[in-house]
A and B are shown apart, each in its own frame.
Chain A
Amino acid sequence: MLKALVIDPGKCTGCKQCEMACSYENEGEFNVAKSRIRVFDFHEQGKMVPYTCTQCAEAWCQQACPVNAITTDPLSLVKVVHENLCVGCKVCTIACPFGTINYNASTGKVTKCDLCQGNPACSDACPTGAITFQDIEQTGFDKMKVWAAQAAAGSPDAPGAKAPVAKH
């Protein structure tokens, strides 16, 4: 059963428990600066938005990697960074149009959400159900996934797309 993180910003209170859980799971300490999920605070509107990798089908990061250090897990479709292969060239960080793969200067490698190998700590830690880990079949394509698909380079459906078509 294919599962995905489903994020409902309307339920987020901005407590950052997801960031704490993520950094602890992946870095061994409570450090929101190293979290792979981040909550953005739009205080003027009273909105909080958790944000992380959508494991998009296009796998921009994987495509951009020169040494095949990012692969797609065949079962979960999660895009995984293999630290032993990553050379730290950062091309994936500029290639990912979501900005969800980031360079970690202390390790010289890139990091991204890998759904904690199938058991995401962020969704476990979320007290309000703003982040849930659900069967994709049940949820349909959630908003972020749809957006991910639409944002594919050159997709004419991309919201506000203005990609010019070459004339020959």
Chain B
Amino acid sequence: MGWARKILRVNLTTGTVKVEPLNMDWASKYLGQRGLATKYFVEEVDPKVDPLGPENKMIMATGPLTGTAASTAGRYSVITKGALTNAIACSNSGGYFGAELKFAGWDMIIFEGKAPKPVYVTVFDDVCEIHDASDIWGTSVWHTDEWIKTKHQDPMMHISAIGVSGEKQVLYSCIVNDLHRAAGRSGVGAVMGSKNLKAVAVRGTGGVKVKDGRAFLKAATAGKKVLQENAVTGAGLPTYGTQVLMNVINEAGAMPTRNHRQVQFEGAHAISAEAMATPRKSDGQPNLLTNQACFGCTIACGRISKIDEKHFTIQNKPQYWKASGGLEYEAAWALGSNTGVDDLETLTYVNFVCNEQGMDPISFGATVSAAMELYELGLLTKEHTGGIDLKFGSAEALAKCVELTGTGEGFGKELGLGSLRLCTKYGRPDLSMSVKGQEFPAYDSRGIQGMGLTYATSNRGACHLRSYTVSSEILGIPEKTDPLTTDGKPALVKAFQDATAAVDSTGLCVFTTFAWTLNDIAPQVDAACDGANWTPEYMMEVGERIWNMERVFNNRAGFTHKDDNLPPRLVAEPAETGPAKGLVNGLATMLPEYYQLRGWTQEGVPTNETLSRLSL
């Protein structure tokens, strides 16, 4: 129960589709989605595989709660070896696609090989077909979505697709579903593009059953009540979205600015949630139209924005005059403070294009900001940029960059490499604000010490969603810790990593954990799923197992403890302002303790004892 107990295996090379029963033994150890799909992945794929080669596989996976009435239970994840990172990748997305895949009767789809020509795949309940995509290759996600719905005459389909950036293998391209929800990070879109797979369209009319309906509804209802009564999930997120963090993090002195040279942005207020809701001077309308929920979500943090039609970025471009997915905090930061641009309308436009063409706005924004620093240093010139005056704070330059990168043209090809490859090419790899090739998100680890360890040890490269210690260090959830010290952070990071790995395997959204602990989540899982006694303790064990499984894969892929590192700027250049003034990140003190807590060697390798304890 919970699981559909069936998986689809689509071999793109041969154009064949197979149905397999879900391995329920694995399901009882890895739950679903991130954990279970990663288990399939590591069992089937050589860690040294070229991420963009046909031997890499890509799995779209739901969790056992996906498609149930638990709050936020509509998630799916894309598991593959990341194009940007060469590490294990697991990118999670909301919208309605995941639930629809479950309703069609599938726990996951495993894509293998590479189609000889561009294709897209449709799944109508138990009918899976591969179609020629030559009519939509070279077009955007938005166009693809509309085209497939019209072609198959079904407006109720849900579609995950790549844009031109994914086709051109921009290394941080993502897979966008439902027009503006994305499996965003690590370049999963480039992997999809490398397989000549343009889109996956799903329509399901079946149902999802749970083990004990009465107990499940009771647990789910109790969970919803907790979310509703919590200040963050019940009020902050629906009202302000994740942008609720903009002013908070800026005040905490942890807002990376201009490629992390500063930790506070003078324009933060102009690009904050409050600014989005305030009527614009230009036309009297606010940027934010409304909020929108993903499938099953009773929080509804999604932003729906509309740009001023007269804004310079969208004049004569009616496709951007409609309402669409607005700025989340990470995008507002990466596109805004990190590039020094404080024009909300430009940021919204750039975000629209990221959705339209399928790019991770975090890595895109961070790559532009790195390029801006290279430009300031004279290492990049107008000759390289094709005439773009790539100065920090230039909205025009940012808008031009997103257009070029989205379609992989001109200087956009360079930006599409990501910051590490770009900075290495121009001789300053140290200016790439990344770990394992993946750019930092919106928290400066000098101001939030735990995040330094989070980034350094994240299995998919720098990422906030692997252990969001911001919860504890800034918001006090579940309990407040001091963001400026390293004390206790290794244990905090380990606990967050394990719990998050478990939550990512359920089908639920990690944002619930602003209010929920595993004590709220485990009863919902247990009422829905058989196969194990799903207690909070067992879920922590599952999470730890998943974390170590990912680590082992990365180690076999060639990563070592030397890759659990931060760029020199964060460990050598002290913060200039704010509460963290004078501080650098204390990674060196945290890392050995972390390894020890993990049961890993000083070289960051899980010991045999650890592996056998976790039945790995």
Contact = CB atoms under 8 A, between A and B. Distances in A.
Nearest to B305: A46
A30 B208 contact: yes
Interface stretch (A31-39, A60-68, A88-96, A152-160): A31-39
Given A20-B69, A43-B324, A46-B323, A15 B295 contact: yes
A47 B293 CA distance: 11
Interface in A11-27: 13-17, 20-21, 23-24, 27
Nearest to B324: A43
B148 to A, nearest CB: 15
Given A46-B323, A127-B224, A29 B300 contact: no
Contact of A13 (B291, B306, B323): B291
B285 to A, nearest CB: 12
B356 to A, nearest CB: 13
Nearest to B303: A46
A120 B76 CA distance: 30
A33 B103 contact: yes
Interface string B179-208: 100000000000000000000000011111
A125 B293 CA distance: 14
Interface in A147-167: none
A44 B208 contact: no
Nearest to B228: A127
A28 B238 CA distance: 30
A14 B296 CA distance: 8
Contacts of B59: none
A30 B292 contact: no
Nearest to A34: B207
A28 B206 contact: no
Contact of B292 (A14, A33, A44): A14
B565 to A, nearest CB: 41
A17 B298 CA distance: 8
A17 B290 CA distance: 18
B382 interface: no
Nearest to A11: B290
B300 A46 contact: no
B232 to A, nearest CB: 15
A48 interface: yes
A128 interface: yes
Contacts of A27: 207
B208 A15 contact: no
Nearest to B210: A30
Given A43-B324, A46-B292, A48-B292, A30 B68 contact: yes
Nearest to B205: A33
B300 A13 contact: yes
Contacts of A34: 205, 207
Contacts of A32: 99, 103
Interface residues of B, number: 36
A168 to B, nearest CB: 44
A45 interface: yes
Contacts of A23: 207
Given A21-B69, A29-B208, A30-B67, A46 B306 contact: yes
Contacts of A29: 207-209
Contacts of B291: 13
Nearest to A15: B293
A30 to B, nearest CB: 4
A82 B210 CA distance: 28
B322 A44 contact: yes
B293 A13 contact: yes
Q: Name the residue among A23, A33, A47, A128 with the largest chain B CB count within 10 angstroms.
A: A33
B290 A30 contact: no
Contacts of B322: 43-45
Interface string B26-57: 00000000000000000000000000000000
A46 B289 contact: yes
A23 B213 CA distance: 12
Contacts of A30: 67-69, 207-210
Contacts of A45: 289, 322-323
Interface string B204-240: 1111111001000100000010001000000000100
B304 interface: yes
B294 interface: yes
A32 B306 CA distance: 29
Contacts of A47: 290
A13 B205 contact: no
Contacts of A128: 300
B350 interface: no
Contacts of B103: 31-33
A8 to B, nearest CB: 13
Given A15-B293, A29-B209, A20 B68 contact: yes
A47 B322 CA distance: 12
B69 A24 contact: yes
A48 to B, nearest CB: 7
Contacts of B591: none
B296 A46 contact: no
Contacts of B271: none
Contact of B323 (A15, A16, A31, A43): A43
B206 A31 contact: yes
Contact of A17 (B96, B208, B296, B323): B296
Interface string B81-119: 000000000000000100100010000000000000000
A120 B47 CA distance: 52
B238 to A, nearest CB: 8
Contacts of B67: 30
A33 B103 CA distance: 9
B85 to A, nearest CB: 32
Interface string A109-145: 0000000000000000101100000000000000000
B297 interface: yes
Given A24-B69, A30-B69, 11 more contacts: A14-B292, A15-B294, A16-B96, A23-B207, A29-B209, A30-B207, A30-B210, A31-B208, A45-B289, A46-B290, A48-B292
23 contacts: A13-B292, A13-B297, A14-B293, A15-B296, A15-B297, A16-B99, A20-B296, A28-B209, A29-B208, A30-B207, A30-B208, A32-B103, A33-B103, A33-B204, A33-B205, A34-B205, A43-B179, A43-B323, A47-B290, A125-B69, A127-B224, A127-B298, A128-B300
Interface of A: 13-17, 20-21, 23-24, 27-34, 43-48, 125, 127-128
Interchain residue pairs A-B with the least CB separation, the first 5: A31-B207, A29-B207, A15-B293, A46-B304, A46-B323
